[in-house]
A = this chain, B = another copy of it.
Amino acid sequence: MRNAIVGQSGGPTSAVNATLSGVIKACAKSEKIDKLYGMKNGIEGLLLGEVVDLSYLYGDEKGLSHLENTPASALGSCRKRLPSLDCDTSVYDKLLDILKEYKIGYFFYIGGNDSMDTVKKLNEYVNKKGVSLVVVGIPKTIDNDLVITDHTPGYGSASKFISTTIKEIACDCSVYRVNAVTIVELMGRDAGWLTAASAVPKHFCGLGADLIYLPEVPFYEDKFIDDVKKALTKRPYVVVAVSEGVKYENGEYVGAGKQSGATDAFGHKYLAGTAKQLEALVKEQIGCKVRSVELNLPQRCSAHILSNTDIEESIGIGAYAVRLAENGQGGKMATMVRTEGEYKIEYSYTDASQVANKVKLVPRRFINEEGNNVTEECINYIAPLIMGERKIEYENGMPVHFRIG
C-alpha cells in the first residue's frame, strides 16, 4: 500500500470541498491506498513541504458532511504554474523528492484548466523519469469552461445561487411604478455560462432577467439601448444580466473604462465595472432610474444555497478519480457524460492535456439570434444542474463550516 496526496488549486468554489470529501471517502475504502495527505495551497505549499495528514477524517461522517457544505478550498489554494518541461526541471525534482518522502503513489489535483496544465506536465515528467506516481486531475470551476466534460463541479451551485438571486432581484425591482433598469453583472471572463444561468427564473416563473448578454457574441451599445427601450415598453422594470467579459466588436472589453489593469499570474485581466459602464450608458441615453449590481464573490462561495445535484456529483467525481488512480490512469482528468433521456450523468475520463489551457465557450446555438438572450436548449442544459437542496446545519444563526486541522 502506498499513500495518496490531494490538492486544490485555482479560484475557490462552493463545491470543491465536496470533491475533496469524495476523495477522502474513496481513499478510506481503498485497498491500494493507505494514508491520504493534503497539500496546503496546492503545489505552492507542497513545494514548501506544507502537508497535512487527512487520514484522521476517514470515517468521520459528520465532519465530512460539514466539509461538503463548506465553501472555498479547505486546503487552501494557489495560482502557481509549473515551468515548461523544456526549461528548468528542478522544481519537478523537488516535488518528486517531497512526494517520495511521504511515500506518495497517487496524486490528485482538483482545479480548472490551469490546474490541468499542472497535471499534464507533472504526468509527463513522471513518465519521462519512470517514477511510479499516478497523477489524476479532477475538474472544478464555477465557470463551466472546461472542454470534454459535460459540465464542471461547482457550476451547478453557482448557477442555483444566480438563478435564485436574479429571481429575488426581479421581485425587488418589480415593486415600483417608475421606469427602472437594473443591470446585474455576473462572473465570466470569456465564457458566459454563469450569465446564462440568469435565464432560468424567467423561463420557469415569468420573472427574472429580461435581457442577457454573453461574451460569446459582440456587444453593440446601440442595440443594447434599443433592447432596453423596447423592454421598457412592456413593463416599467427591466432586469439585464451581463457577463463581466462582454466585448465590443473590436474585441475591447465593455468594462475596460473602469478596469483595474491588473493581471494574475496567468496573464488574465481582472475585470470589474461592466455593469457600471452600462449603468452610465442607460442614464445618458434613456435617462430613467438605473442601478448596477455586481454579484461578485458570493457567486463562488454562497454555500448556504447549494445545488444538491452539484454536490452529489462533486463527491462522486472525487471518488471516481480515486478509482482512476487505482487503475493506473495517470495523466487523466475525470469527466462527466450526460446520458440521453432523463437527466443522469456517468463518470468517464480524458487526457488532462486535452483540457489544459483550453476554454469551452457557450455554443452559438445556445444564444438567440438577436444576441440578447439564451435559447431553450441552453436552459434545458442548465436546469437539471441546479436541482435539489442540501440540508445545511446552522449554529448561531449561520451555516456550520468545517476547518481542516
A297 touches B182 (CB 8 A): yes
A295-328 at interface with B (beta carbon < 8 Å) = 295-298, 300-305, 307
- The CA-CA distance from A398 to B156 in the complex, in Å, is 12
Copies of this chain, tallied across the complex: 2
A386, CB-defined interface residue at 8 Å: yes
CA distance A45 to B169 in the complex (A): 22
Smallest distance from the beta carbon of A381 to chain B beta carbons, Å?
13
The contact size tier of chain A is 35 or more
A residues 166-183 in Cβ contact with B at 8 Å: 167-169, 171-172, 174-177, 182
B298 touches A168 (CB 8 A): yes
**Chain B residues with CB under 8 A of A72:** 168, 171-172, 174-175
Indicate whether A375 reaches chain B with its CB closer than 8 angstroms. no
User: In whole angstroms, how far apart are the Cα atoms of A17 and B194 in the complex?
Assistant: 30
The stretch of A83-91, A133-141, A157-165, A355-363 that contacts the partner chain: A157-165
CB neighbors of B among A346-396 (8 A)? 383, 386-389, 392, 394-396
Smallest CB–CB gap between A170 and chain B, Å? 9
Determine if A164 and B304 form an interchain contact, defined as CB atoms under 8 angstroms apart: yes
Picked from B41, B389, B396, the residue with its CB within 8 Å of the CB of A176 is: B41
Distance between A123 CB and nearest chain B CB, rounded to angstroms: 25
Chain B residues closer than 8 Å to A167, beta-carbon distance: 398-399, 401
Q: Is A71 an interface position by the 8 A CB rule? A: yes
In the complex, what residue of chain B is closest to A392 when comparing beta carbons?
Answer: B389
Interface residues of A in 52-76 (CB under 8 A from B): 70-73, 76
- Given pairs A383-B397, A386-B398, 15 additional interface contacts (CB within 8 A): A8-B175, A44-B177, A45-B177, A71-B168, A72-B168, A76-B176, A78-B177, A163-B397, A168-B302, A200-B396, A200-B398, A293-B296, A293-B297, A307-B397, A383-B396
Residues of A within 8 A of B (CB): 8, 12, 41, 44-45, 70-73, 76-79, 160, 163-165, 167-169, 171-172, 174-177, 182, 200-201, 204-205, 207, 260, 283, 291, 293-298, 300-305, 307, 383, 386-389, 392, 394-399, 401
A–B pairs, 16, beta carbons within 8 Å? A76-B174, A77-B175, A160-B398, A165-B302, A168-B304, A172-B300, A201-B398, A204-B395, A204-B398, A207-B401, A293-B298, A304-B305, A307-B397, A386-B396, A386-B398, A389-B392
A-B CB proximity, top 6 nearest: A386-B397, A172-B301, A77-B175, A72-B171, A204-B396, A168-B301
